[in-house]
Copies of this chain bind each other. A is one copy, B any other.
Amino acid sequence: MDKTYEILKSVKDGTVSIEEAERYFKRAPFEELEYAKLDTHRGIRSGFPEVVFCQGKEDGYLQTIYVKMAQQEGCVLGTRASAHQYECVRSVLEDVTYDPVSRILKLQRGETELKGGIAVCCAGTADVPVAEEASQTAEYFGTKVTRVYDVGVSGIHRLLSKVELLQSVNCVVAIAGMEGALASVIGGLVSVPVIAVPTSVGYGASFGGLSALLTMINSCANGIAVVNIDNGYGAGYMATQINRLAVGK
């Protein structure tokens, strides 16, 4: 029997006073929101377990999080972890793995089946850490990823040789620092959504990625949207969302 009905019935019956019931309903708008509807929307059913942003987290705190999540979820994805943090977590969670390039600190037991297909492209070798964060994030969430690295627009033939591949996936992640023109060129070559990631790679007037961000936001090509500077994780996440829609979840 429904709680609302139950209380109303008790009011009618006189087993609950009007004042008590009033207090209950006054709280309801938010209590019900919390414990029923909203809380469940992002849980196991959605297939996106919580992710840990490791950077700046204290050692002890990080250990606790990893151990707790390992128990609850059986897997953990952490981004922007340092080598030191890896050592630290490994001392309490033996089978955690670390990739110094993407800086992903991960616990993943068993195999994840990879489905669908996305491409992760980056302009230069200096963009690879961000690209790997995107790629490995997407793979962690079950997306099949093709890596297309070092295809910056100042040597356009490198990118053009991959057109067929790019035209065959459900989503393209385009990662570039400096002038950030990669997203526009890819946007003109494919008909699927392009997630653009500006990187902080560069010097001088690159302003920590701001120039690349502005370039990408101003792209003339259709079907491009942009995430935060160096946010490989965010791009991998959104590409996974799109890929899941395409493969019917």
Taking CB atoms, residues of chain B closer than 8 Å to A211 are 211, 214-215, 217-218
Cβ of B202 and Cβ of A218 under 8 Å apart?
yes
Q: A42 CA to B220 CA in the complex, in Å?
A: 14
Convert A144-171 into 0s and 1s, putting 1 for each residue whose CB lies closer than 8 angstroms to a CB of B. Answer: 0000000011111110111110010011
Complex interface: chain B residues within 8 A of A193 (CB): 193, 238, 241-242, 245
Q: How far is the CA of A207 from the CA of B215 in the complex (A)?
A: 11
A residues neighboring B (CB under 8 Å)? 2, 4-5, 8-9, 11-12, 14, 18, 21-22, 25-34, 37-39, 41-42, 46, 48, 51, 55-57, 123-126, 152-158, 160-164, 167, 170-171, 178-181, 184-185, 187-193, 195-196, 198, 200, 202-231, 234-235, 237-238, 241-242, 245-246, 248
With A152-B220, A226-B227, A246-B246 given, can you name 20 additional A-B contacts, CB distance below 8 Å? A4-B25, A8-B11, A9-B18, A28-B32, A29-B33, A29-B160, A30-B162, A34-B157, A48-B191, A51-B222, A57-B125, A181-B181, A204-B213, A204-B231, A205-B229, A206-B218, A211-B214, A212-B218, A217-B229, A223-B241
